[in-house]
Chains A and B, each alone.
Chain A
Amino acid sequence: MAGGIATSRPAHGAPTAERGRPTSESPAVKWLLITIAVIFLAAVVLLPLITVFVEGLKRGWNVYISAMTDPDAVSALKLTLLVAVIAVPLNTIFGIAASWLIAKFSFRGKNLLLTLIDLPFSVSPVIAGFMFLLLFGAQGYLGPWFDERGLQIVFAPPGIILATMFVTFPFVARELIPLMQAQGTQEEEAAATLGAKGFRIFWSVTLPNIKWALLYGLVLCNARAMGEFGAVSVVSGHIRGETNTLPLHVEILYNEYQFSASFAAASLLMLLALLTLGAKSLVEWKTAQRNQDLEG
């Protein structure tokens, strides 16, 4: 009997035996891959992360706390947050607008626009800083005009914000464009035939579709805005307590033999990054819950 069934359904034998496993790899391969991934993550991400905190706390909590509450550190933290608070939303608005334009319309010069959006990725941040120095410096093209009006651009927060915006410019757009292109325009067209106007279409059709990519772009943009060193270093002027961002502050402390304080400040920057990631996870979790509620 068994032999009869087996001979009558030879082709189905193998798949039945493999049920429950999407691939045909053996468990050994699976565990090998997991081990490699975990070791790699531990060595490249986790270990340096822990080192920063350990080094920061080497001379005890007192040094750590006083490094955090040092007026220069506080001012660097404030400036870093100010820069992020201005640069990230502006780049988000621009990113959404640009990717909407590129993904949903065809027009002359579209490729040029795409290339321009990518430009900050291919320009070294230091060069980006020098461009702003050439533009807004006292010997630059626009610098004297602003100077006459008492406006300081470079060696002041506006220059730092501009440089950061330039460097973080493509992050949101670059996340959104491929997704929006893949999604096409059918849903928007359907909405339009039903009588929805531009903003309504954006709000209730486009935005929900791009939500996750947008959030991811925001996280990347924010991380870079708070961590940017090269471009900011050129336009900062390194005035302590005034134009130093956290990354510059970390370097200064390191160069002044204050290694623990330097790592303490670095851990502060790290905490900011972790906070951003935490916020992203929270949003993800909340949305998943709401969706479940809706479905339930």
Chain B
Amino acid sequence: MTQKKNSFLKLPVLLLTTSLVLGLAACGSGNSNSNNGGSGGAGTPAGNTGVNAANNANTGTEANTTPKEPVELLNVSYDPTRELYVSFNAAFAKYWKKKTGQEVTIKQSHGGSGKQSLSVISGLKADVVTLALGYDIDAIAERGLINKDWKSKFQSNSAPYTSTIVFLVRKGNPKGIKDWNDLVKPDVEVITPNPATSGGARWNYLAAWGYAQKQDGGDETKTKEFMKQLFQNVPVLDSGARGSTTTFTERGIGDVLLAWENEAFLSQKELGDKFEIVYPSLSILAEPPVAIVDKVVDDRGTREVAEAYLKYLYTEEGQRIAADHFYRPINPDIAAQYKDKFKELELLQIDKDFGGWAEAQKKHFAEGGTFDEIYKPGSK
């Protein structure tokens, strides 16, 4: 019997070993695929010339005149910028080709801003990040992937466009929602994403907080009560702004969506006049910043093109594309051209009214912050 058992046993052992070997081989081959297809040949001589070119650019010389290998950039962005960057990437690729003769392909990845920041920290190889708020870039900088002084790398705190938070309501505004204090009425359902994962949700939260503080004359207990009531009216917290938008527009849940102004305009454009935008009496100036992921661009030799990419956001064309996608341009000339599109309203500022993102994050969204205090899942 033992003899026979042994011959029986050989097969499974053999099979298990082959499956392991095959598994490793598969991983290896999958990987080489991703390297060839994904990184534009980071390890090849072409990649090295990229590094040299980047160094040249840093010292201020003109771009290389020899024709260069095609290059790829990965832009890891937040949820509502999908359409903006489809247009902007095409425009930049055209500009870059004309200027340097080099083909550039920009890949996009979108999701809740906090989630995307975590992905980059976990190893998603982004050349540039274009997120919803400064704290999410600070978090990456903390891990040493981005230089801590990223904010001073580009104009206006590295925020090439701004936006604000508005209300999107169903046509005819059946619940008569005009301002933040209408959101705490018992029969109103409010849709907002989760502040833990979404940048837009954190702007929403701070805008509501700022409004309540003003109403209550700075009394924080009253403000917390207001926020608690508001979040009792929230039936579902999606992880990103776009998820909330589809919850509100497609699934038909809720009476009011707290949304980025650009997101509200976009859903109006895409889905016709089933919705109306309501500007509250007070909102917040949202500054979605951009940054180069220093470690990745240095490893891959893409610094030059990555810098040019983000700088292009500040050019007249970049600003115009942003405005066409309902982001408020920061260039005064372009802003003047789009004056009728964006309503003027009183806006709170993160640095002035909340002491900057580091403090706001700690006070409101970190573990044990005010959001944890006022929000209990399923508390309705």
What residues make up the interface of A, taking CB atoms closer than 8 Å to B?
A: 82, 86, 89-90, 93-94, 96-98, 100-101, 104-105, 133, 136-140, 143, 147, 150-158, 161-162, 165, 188-189, 192, 197-199, 201-202, 237-242, 252, 254-257
Contacts and interface: CB of A to CB of B under 8 A. Distances in A.
Contacts of A256: 82-83, 242
A219 B178 CA distance: 55
A234 B43 CA distance: 27
Contact of A158 (B8, B22, B31, B243): B31
Q: Which of B33, B34, B37, B121 has the most CB of A within 10 A?
A: B34
A150 B42 CA distance: 10
Contacts of B26: 86, 90, 161
A238 B109 contact: yes
B119 A237 contact: yes
* Interface core residue of B16, B31, B271 (most chain A CB under 10 Å): B31
A95 to B, nearest CB: 9
A153 B124 CA distance: 10
A158 B129 CA distance: 24
B15 A97 contact: yes
Contacts of B83: 256
A188 B1 CA distance: 13
B375 to A, nearest CB: 22
Most chain A CB atoms below 10 A, which of B9, B26, B33, B38: B26
Nearest to B246: A255
B30 interface: yes
Given A188-B8, A192-B7, A240-B109, 9 more contacts: A90-B19, A90-B23, A138-B122, A139-B121, A139-B143, A140-B122, A143-B123, A239-B124, A242-B37
Interface in B17-34: 18-19, 22-23, 26-27, 30-31, 33-34
A98 B74 CA distance: 42
A23 B122 CA distance: 63
Nearest to B270: A257
Nearest to B34: A156
B37 A158 contact: no
28 contacts: A86-B30, A90-B26, A93-B19, A97-B15, A98-B16, A104-B8, A138-B121, A140-B122, A143-B122, A152-B123, A155-B119, A156-B38, A157-B33, A158-B34, A161-B27, A192-B7, A198-B8, A198-B11, A237-B119, A238-B109, A238-B111, A239-B109, A242-B34, A242-B38, A255-B242, A255-B246, A256-B83, A257-B267
